[in-house]
Amino acid sequence: MVDITAPQASLSADDLRKRITTNLQEKQGVEPEEATVADVYAATAEVVRDYLSVSSLDAKKRMVKGHVKAVGYLSAEFLIGRQLSNALLNAGLTQQFEGAVAELGFKAKDVIATEPEPGLGNGGLGRLAACYVDSLASLGVPAFGYGIQYRYGIFRQEFDDEGKQVEKPDYWLSEGNPWGHEDVVRSQRVSFGGSVVDGDDGARVWKPAWSVRAVPVDYLVPGYDSGRVNTLRLWTAKSYDEFDLATFNRSDYMGAVIPQVNAENITKVLYPEDSTPQGKRLRLEQQYFFVSASIHDAIRTFYPGEKNPDLTTFPDKICFQLNDTHPVIGIPELMRVLMDEHGMDWDAAWNITRKTFNYTCHTLLPEALEVWPAKLIGELLPRHLEIIRSINAQFVQELESKGIDDDVIDRMRIATDGPDGQVRMAYLATVGGSYVNGVAALHSQLLKDVTLKDFSSVYPNKFTNVTNGVTPRRFIKLANPRLSDLITEGLGTDKWLHDLDELEGLVPLADDSSFVERFRKVKEANKQDFAKYASDKFDFSINTNTMFDSMIKRLHEYKRQSLKILAVIAEYAAIKDGSVNVDEILPRSVFFGAKAAPGYAMAKLTIQLINNVARVVNNDPAVKGKLAVYFPWNYNIDLAEHLIPATELDEQISQAGKEASGTGNMKFALNGSLTVGTLDGANVEIRERVGAENFFLFGMQVEDVEKLYADGYDPMEYVHADPRLHHAIDLVASGAFSHGDRDTYAALTSDWLTHDYFMTMADFTAYMDIQKEIEATYRNPDEWTRKAILNVAHSGFFSSDRSIEDYLTRIWHTEPQR
Ligand X SMILES: *Cc1c(COP(=O)(O)O)cnc(C)c1O
* 636 interacts with ligand X by CB under 6 A: yes
Q: Which residues contact 703 (CB under 8 A, 6 or more apart)?
A: none
* Nearest residue (CB) to ligand X, 663 versus 771: 663
Q: Which residues contact 483 (CB under 8 A, 6 or more apart)?
A: 476, 519, 522, 526, 645, 671, 672, 792
Distance (Å, whole) CA 561 – CA 653: 8
* Nearest residue (CB) to ligand X, 134 versus 244: 134
* 658 interacts with ligand X by CB under 6 A: no
Residues 92-151 that bind ligand X (CB under 6 A): 123-124, 127
Amino acid identity for residue 398 in this structure: E
Q: Residues 568-571: contacts with CB within 8 Å, 24+ apart?
A: 568/613, 568/617, 568/627, 568/629, 569/613, 569/728, 569/731, 569/732, 569/737, 570/724, 570/725, 570/727, 570/728, 570/768, 571/627
Min dist CB 315 to ligand X, Å, is 32
- Give the up-direction half-sphere exposure of residue 288: CA atoms within 13 A in the CB hemisphere: 27
Tell me how far CA of residue 146 lies from CA of 323, 734, 811, in angstroms.
Answer: 10, 51, 19
Q: Is 51 exposed, middle or buried (0-12, 13-18, 19+ CB in 10 A)?
A: buried
Using the rule CB under 6 A, which residue among 76, 503, 637, 725 binds ligand X?
Answer: 637
Tell me how crowded residue 767 is: count the other CB atoms within 10 A of its CB: 23
* Nearest residue (CB) to ligand X, 95 versus 800: 800
* Nearest residue (CB) to ligand X, 336 versus 667: 667
* Nearest residue (CB) to ligand X, 677 versus 715: 677
- Give the up-direction half-sphere exposure of residue 316: CA atoms within 13 A in the CB hemisphere: 8
| 107 given a catalytic annotation | no
Min dist CB 119 to ligand X, Å, is 9
Residues 315-344 that bind ligand X (CB under 6 A): none
Q: Say what angle helices 37-65 and 84-91 make with each other, to 10 degrees.
A: 50
The answer to whether 268 and 231 have CB atoms below 8 angstroms apart is no
Distance (Å, whole) CA 168 – CA 157: 6
* Nearest residue (CB) to ligand X, 127 versus 443: 127
| 362 given a catalytic annotation | yes
> Rg of the chain's alpha carbons, rounded to an integer?
27
The answer to whether 229 and 56 have CB atoms below 8 angstroms apart is yes
Count of residues that bind ligand X according to CB under 6 A: 12
Closest alpha carbon to 218 in 324, 146, 158, 295: 146
Q: What is the DSSP string of 685-700?
A: HHHHHH-GGGSEE-S-
Min dist CB 593 to ligand X, Å, is 8
Q: Which window, 36-44, 152-160, 351-359, 660-668, contacts ligand X (CB under 6 A)?
A: 660-668
Residue 653, SS3 per DSSP:
coil
Using the rule CB under 6 A, which residue among 163, 178, 330, 664 binds ligand X?
Answer: 664
Q: Which window, 24-32, 307-315, 656-664, 792-800, contacts ligand X (CB under 6 A)?
A: 656-664
* Nearest residue (CB) to ligand X, 124 versus 145: 124
Report phi then psi at 434, rounded to 5.
Answer: -85, -45
* 649 interacts with ligand X by CB under 6 A: no
Min dist CB 87 to ligand X, Å, is 18
* Nearest residue (CB) to ligand X, 422 versus 791: 791
Closest alpha carbon to 170 in 185, 180, 155, 149: 155
Q: Which window, 85-93, 189-197, 634-642, 778-786, contacts ligand X (CB under 6 A)?
A: 634-642
Catalytic residue among 554, 560, 626, 786: 554
Q: What is the DSSP letter of 297?
A: H
Q: Which window, 243-251, 494-502, 661-669, 715-723, contacts ligand X (CB under 6 A)?
A: 661-669
Min dist CB 550 to ligand X, Å, is 10
| 553 given a catalytic annotation | yes
Using the rule CB under 6 A, which residue among 130, 331, 617, 640 binds ligand X?
Answer: 640
Q: Say what angle helices 561-576 and 760-778 make with each other, to 10 degrees.
A: 60
| 595 given a catalytic annotation | no
Beta bridge partners of 359: 322, 436
Min dist CB 553 to ligand X, Å, is 3
Min dist CB 665 to ligand X, Å, is 6
Closest alpha carbon to 111 in 48, 63, 160, 153: 48
Q: Which window, 365-373, 405-413, 565-573, 636-644, contacts ligand X (CB under 6 A)?
A: 636-644
Distance (Å, whole) CA 744 – CA 237: 43
Residues 49-78 that bind ligand X (CB under 6 A): none
Min dist CB 662 to ligand X, Å, is 4
Using the rule CB under 6 A, which residue among 140, 277, 438, 662 binds ligand X?
Answer: 662
Catalytic residue among 228, 336, 362, 482: 362
- Give the up-direction half-sphere exposure of residue 543: CA atoms within 13 A in the CB hemisphere: 16
Catalytic residue among 356, 663, 777, 814: 663
Closest alpha carbon to 298 in 233, 374, 375: 233
Beta bridge partners of 436: 359, 463
| 667 given a catalytic annotation | yes
Min dist CB 96 to ligand X, Å, is 28
Min dist CB 661 to ligand X, Å, is 7
Q: Which window, 317-325, 410-418, 662-670, 721-729, contacts ligand X (CB under 6 A)?
A: 662-670
* Nearest residue (CB) to ligand X, 649 versus 733: 649
Catalytic residue among 296, 413, 443, 559: 559
- Cα 207 to chain centroid distance, Å, stands at 37
Residue 629, SS3 per DSSP:
strand
Catalytic residue among 127, 213, 474, 667: 667
| 559 given a catalytic annotation | yes
Start-to-end Cα distance in the chain:
33
- Across the chain, how many H-helices and E-strands are there? 32, 22
* Nearest residue (CB) to ligand X, 684 versus 728: 684
* Nearest residue (CB) to ligand X, 274 versus 751: 274
Binding mask 665-684 for ligand X (x = CB under 6 A): --x-----------------
Min dist CB 326 to ligand X, Å, is 17
Catalytic residue among 553, 556, 560, 787: 553
Closest residue to ligand X, based on beta-carbon distance: 664
Using the rule CB under 6 A, which residue among 294, 663, 749, 777 binds ligand X?
Answer: 663
Q: Is 185 exposed, middle or buried (0-12, 13-18, 19+ CB in 10 A)?
A: exposed
Min dist CB 57 to ligand X, Å, is 31
* Nearest residue (CB) to ligand X, 11 versus 637: 637
* 553 interacts with ligand X by CB under 6 A: yes
Q: Is 144 exposed, middle or buried (0-12, 13-18, 19+ CB in 10 A)?
A: buried
* Nearest residue (CB) to ligand X, 52 versus 154: 154
Min dist CB 570 to ligand X, Å, is 23
Burial 345-369 (b: 16+ CB within 10 A, else e): eeeebbebbbebbbbbbbbbbeebb
* 362 interacts with ligand X by CB under 6 A: no
Active-site residues: which are they? 362, 553-554, 559, 663, 667
Kindly list the residues in this chain that would bind ligand X in the complex (CB under 6 A): 123-124, 127, 553-554, 636-637, 640, 662-664, 667
